[in-house]
Structure 1
Amino acid sequence: MTKTKNEQQPHTFKRKLGNTTYTVKVHFSKDTDKTFKDRVQKLIINECLEKNHK
């Protein structure tokens, strides 16, 4: 099956943790009002809050 110009490949990457290799697929909705910057900022804030609670 061939992909047309309008079809996008999902972004994937592999990450190995210990003896387990994970394949991670990343996708974003086109129907959202949040930008990539908004999402990354939220991830950073949440990570900082989690570290402060430990």
Structure 2
Amino acid sequence: MAETKNVQQPHSFKRKLENTTYTVKVHFSKDTDKTFKDRVENLIINECLEKNQK
């Protein structure tokens, strides 16, 4: 009998902006000490810093 592995599919979602549909796939490393909240906060901070530099 063939062995089956519990392979988890990557999480993804689709967003449509104007006439373009984007598929966003996310994956998380099990070997990190950063939480999802930490990563989102970093994205927001970086976005704000970029806008202030323009």
Figure out how many residues of one structure are paired with residues of the other and give that number: 51
- 1:7 paired with 2:43, answer no
Point out where structure 2 has 5 or more consecutive residues left out of the alignment.
none
TM-score, normalising length: structure 1: 0.74
Instruction: Report the CA distance between 1:37 and its aligned residue.
Output: 1.5
Instruction: Report % sequence identity.
Output: 84
What RMSD, in angstroms, separates the aligned Cα atoms of the two structures?
Answer: 1.8
- Stretches of 4+ moved more than 4 A in 1? none
* TM-score (ref. length: structure 2): 0.74
- 1:22-37 equivalence runs, <5 A: 22-37=22-37
Q: Indicate the residue corresponding to 2:17 in structure 1.
A: 17
Deviation at 1:20, TM superposition (A): 1.3
